[in-house]
Structures are given as C-alpha cells and as structure tokens.
Amino acid sequence: MTKKLTGKAAIITGGGSGIGRAISELFAREGAFVHILELNTAAADALAEIIRGSGGQVAVHPCDVSKQEAVLEVISRIGGIDILVNNAGIAHVGNVEDTHEEDFDRIMRVNVKGAYNVLHAVVPVMKRQGGGVILNVASIAALVGITDRFAYSTSKGAIYAMTLSVARDYLHQGIRCNSISPARVHTPFVDGFIAKNYPGKEAEMFEALSKSQPIGRMARPEEIASLALYLCSDEAAFITGNDYPIDGGFVKLNN
C-alpha cells in the first residue's frame, strides 16, 4: 500500500519530544521527509537516529522559533514544504495574579510569536508551490476555562484564532489550515511537572490528572499523532478552518 505522506516534505516544530516526537516518527513511517525544528537538539538528534534506523528520512534543524531571522534562515535552506505542524510550545501554571510580566512575555514569545514566525516564513513557500497543509497544535485550554492556566490559555486561544485567519486568507491558494486541541497527554513534561510540584504524591496526582478526562486516562502522544496524520494527508482534502478537540470527552462531557 502507498504510504499516506510519500514524497511530502513536512516541518515539525518542537519535533524532538512529546507530541512532536510522536508526530515526527509517524510522519516519517508514512513516507514524509521530516524536518525537525528544535531547540533541544540532543533529543532531536537521538530521534533522528531512530528514524533513519527504520528507513525514514529526517533532518534536524537547530532553531529557536521565537527568533524570526533564525526561522527564515532555516526555512530558506529547507526549500519545498508540503506540510507544517506548528507544535513547539511551553507551559505556565498560574492565574492572572500569579503571572508575572516576564512569565507572560515568555509564553507569548514562544507559543504565539513562535507560531507566527513559522507561518510567516512557510506560507509564501506554499503559495509559490500552489498549496500545502498547516496544522497548529492548540489546546482545550483555548476552548474552556482551565484553573491556573491564564497565560497558557491566552496563548492557545491565539493559536486557535490564527488557524481560522490563515484558513480564510489562503482558501484559494490551495493551503489548508486546521488545529487540534488535546486535553492532557502523558508526556515526559507531565511526569516532570508532577515530580516538581507534588513530591511524594506522584502516583496520587497522576491518577487525579488522568481522571480529569471523562474517559478516565490521559491521551498517548501516538493518539495525537494519528489525528495529525489524517488532517495532514490527502484524505482530509475537504477539511480546512476547523479545530479538533482530542480530549477524552473533556470539553463536552465534563459536568
């Protein structure tokens, strides 16, 4: 059978760990040449060795997506781009009173400006090629109120709005743009967050966070990657300007 992304060039920002890692691995297995833009190059290089060992094609590009000049330089070297997954992002815990100016600026710089920088660089390439697919990673925090996630929720709301704007503006240039909104996903970040904030209560907190999804568990990164694959493949050619919660029922079933 033909792989779903054979011959496609895909950029995955933050593609060396967590959700981004799962997307990078799956896209490579499906035939894409995966370009990982990553600040943590050690993790990305280790992943690249695994992908190449399985017969996949991958390149790692050290890049701080919050720096526009750096992003433009990397994109110019990559050349043709069929798929962009805007995944890079960071988290912050706190309500509006707990969020200091430097915290807010850091979240906006990485999560919002970073996504803008990559869109700003990639969209002209896709226009010249006659089309492409963009997938932005938002969050359920963009859709519902989450306790102590003021800055993070603000940034993901911006990602949701960016998605609609790009989808509308480039509807007739052959560029599709969607977003996905995961609930909690079991990644190394979650384990580190629990260990840092709840020492000695790790198992208890993991269980509590898992059960905050009505389905009773966190998502696996591979499950998020499967949705990303569908939306970035030709099977989803009629889909643009939409957000897809992948949340174990969190948005609609949490009463």
The CA–CA distances, whole Å, from 171 to 115, 133, 192, 242 equal 19, 11, 41, 13
Please tell me the distance from the alpha carbon of residue 109 to that of residue 207, in angstroms, as a whole number.
32
Which residues on neighbouring strands pair with residue 149, listed in sequence order? 94
Alpha-carbon gap, residue 212 to 248, rounded angstroms? 9
Neighbouring CB atoms inside 10 A of 137's CB total: 25
Q: Give the chain's count of helices (H) and strands (E).
A: 10, 7
Per the annotation, the verdict on 152 as an active-site residue is yes
Phi, psi of 252 (to 5 degrees): -95, -25
User: Catalytic pick from 152, 170, 230, 244?
Assistant: 152
Closest CA to 30 of 186, 177, 240, 228: 228
β-sheet bridge partners, residue 48: none
Phi and psi at 37, nearest 5°, equal: -100, 120
| Residue indicated by tokens 């998502």 | 219
Q: In whole angstroms, what is the distance from residue 159 CA to residue 167 CA?
A: 12
CA distance 233 to 214: 29
Positions marked catalytic: 152
